[in-house]
Chain A
């Protein structure tokens, strides 16, 4: 997996490490899913884009939340 073009130049704000693509597991209200995301190769900090957070991840959250 290669980094998306728009984050290739990014570094980790916390420790300065370089980013790499990793499979990140999410758990929310007994639901589990995995997403390939850029993360710091040194400290593991994960980058979640605004598009993902307000798009599909918000969709998943709405699906699991009770009316």
Chain B
């Protein structure tokens, strides 16, 4: 609900996790999530800084729900998640965490992995999670095998094959790439089991970035992992965690390297750092890196090769959660933008997006391995057009995950990235990973 420069919503108190009223307050071009807990005081967190303006950042969309709901509500959103009847979007991506073990000790970890890792879930347990996803969202979503570091499981091939056997067409691996880089045959095995894509953690083009964010040098391994995935016919998406003051200066170089490694690298998916899991200390306002800042810095650091106006709000999740843009790589190294956001023209004539369905098929097509190896072509035939676009379209996207400070329940209720909890409940990613100031999780429990 909007009143003047304030849009009312709800959030949680960062200290006691009580549900409290909140507002998105816009001052000039900046918007803050402002909330007050009667017991713990006022909180104010930037959620949008500068242009493109938050006021025009939306597009028509239909809420889509199918499948079954969790048990009836008792305490209301976000306490009855699973998903409850308040939710207005079904899954487009379902995360299955197959281990809490990890071979890195990152200060920035969504999953809080590594320390005090419990035993891995059995294949039978994982089959139960696949069944839960099937029952609640059907098969037409992207299953992301995650952790911890999923490649630490020696039966990962069996886990992927199980998902494919149960009818999921798109199985993606979320990985730091260390094991993929160690053995070229490994990527081949995963591909043969039915994997289509790797979401590769990739924070920069310089090793000191990895030493800061991940605790050690990793660039060589990342590049080798990309090479082996490409040879195996796996699409690779580079996924930088963007940390203010650490790798924000390197965003343009990440994109330039990714373009050089295309079409094996299908795109870059930026994730500005959130403050849950194992993060050191409460965030300063200057540590918040918002989506419009990222769009502008992409334009600046690519010298206008990609412009902020090329990026669009999502047709699936809540508009404040992401942006994306597609670009066609041309033979001379230039890019042709295939997307554009034009808020002043309004998008009232645009067809309402039916949310997840179209989103899943677009993303799956884009993140799959390319059909041809090189930029073509000198012919204008329809076949060449299709092959050229399938091979040479490069996707740039970003997702702003929420933490306890900027949590906005209106956004959560449109979330389509869901984690299967150990009991089979489907929990929006941000809620699943959310922790209080004391580190108390709202949902996450040990795996077994």
Do A66 and B362 contact each other (CB < 8 Å), given the known contacts A29-B338, A30-B336?
Answer: yes
* Nearest Cβ on chain A to B336's Cβ, whole angstroms: 7
Do A60 and B358 contact each other (CB < 8 Å), given the known contacts A33-B380, A67-B316?
Answer: no
Pair A56/B324 contact, Cβ less than 8 Å: no
Question: What residues of A have a CB within 8 angstroms of the CB of B359 in the complex?
Answer: 67
Pair A67/B386 contact, Cβ less than 8 Å: no
Pair A63/B389 contact, Cβ less than 8 Å: yes
Question: What residues of B have a CB within 8 angstroms of the CB of A59 in the complex?
Answer: 386
Query: Which residues between 53 and 67 of chain A lie within 8 Å of chain B, taking CB atoms?
Result: 56-57, 59-60, 62-67
Pair B362/A34 contact, Cβ less than 8 Å: no
Query: Which residues between 13 and 67 of chain A lie within 8 Å of chain B, taking CB atoms?
Result: 25-26, 29-35, 56-57, 59-60, 62-67
* Nearest Cβ on chain B to A3's Cβ, whole angstroms: 18
Pair A31/B389 contact, Cβ less than 8 Å: yes
Question: What residues of A have a CB within 8 angstroms of the CB of B353 in the complex?
Answer: 67
Distance between Cα atoms of A32 and B385 in the complex (Å): 8
The size of the chain B interface, using a CB distance under 8 A, is 26
Distance between Cα atoms of A25 and B312 in the complex (Å): 29
Pair B386/A60 contact, Cβ less than 8 Å: yes
Do A67 and B362 contact each other (CB < 8 Å), given the known contacts A29-B338, A30-B338, A60-B389?
Answer: yes
Question: What residues of A have a CB within 8 angstroms of the CB of B380 in the complex?
Answer: 25, 32-34
Pair B326/A60 contact, Cβ less than 8 Å: no
Cβ-defined partner of B363 (8 Å) among A29, A35, A62, A67: A67
Question: What residues of A have a CB within 8 angstroms of the CB of B365 in the complex?
Answer: 62-63
Query: Which residues between 388 and 433 of chain B lie within 8 Å of chain A, taking CB atoms?
Result: 389-390, 393
- B5, CB-defined interface residue at 8 Å: no
Pair B385/A60 contact, Cβ less than 8 Å: yes
Pair B338/A56 contact, Cβ less than 8 Å: no
Cβ-defined partner of A63 (8 Å) among B315, B363, B393: B393
* Nearest Cβ on chain B to A38's Cβ, whole angstroms: 15
* Nearest Cβ on chain A to B116's Cβ, whole angstroms: 39
Residue of A nearest to B341 (CB): A66
Do A31 and B358 contact each other (CB < 8 Å), given the known contacts A63-B390, A67-B316?
Answer: no
Residue of B nearest to A31 (CB): B385
- B286, CB-defined interface residue at 8 Å: no
Distance between Cα atoms of A33 and B380 in the complex (Å): 5
Question: What residues of A have a CB within 8 angstroms of the CB of B336 in the complex?
Answer: 30
Cβ-defined partner of A56 (8 Å) among B312, B383, B393: B383
Do A34 and B382 contact each other (CB < 8 Å), given the known contacts A66-B362, A67-B315, A67-B359?
Answer: yes
Residue of A nearest to B389 (CB): A63
Query: Which residues between 353 and 397 of chain B lie within 8 Å of chain A, taking CB atoms?
Result: 353, 358-359, 361-363, 365, 380-386, 389-390, 393
- B70, CB-defined interface residue at 8 Å: no
Pair A66/B382 contact, Cβ less than 8 Å: no
Distance between Cα atoms of A29 and B365 in the complex (Å): 19
Question: What residues of B have a CB within 8 angstroms of the CB of A31 in the complex?
Answer: 385, 389
Residue from B314, B359, B380, B384 having most chain A Cβ neighbours under 10 A? B380
Pair A34/B381 contact, Cβ less than 8 Å: yes
- B339, CB-defined interface residue at 8 Å: yes
Pair A64/B338 contact, Cβ less than 8 Å: yes
Cβ-defined partner of A33 (8 Å) among B339, B361, B382: B382
Do A35 and B381 contact each other (CB < 8 Å), given the known contacts A30-B336, A60-B389?
Answer: yes
Question: What residues of A have a CB within 8 angstroms of the CB of B338 in the complex?
Answer: 29-30, 64, 66
Chain A contacts to B: CB under 8 angstroms: 25-26, 29-35, 56-57, 59-60, 62-67
Beyond A31-B389, A62-B365: 14 further Cβ-contacts under 8 Å?
A32-B385, A33-B380, A33-B384, A34-B382, A56-B382, A60-B385, A63-B386, A63-B389, A63-B390, A66-B326, A66-B338, A67-B314, A67-B353, A67-B359
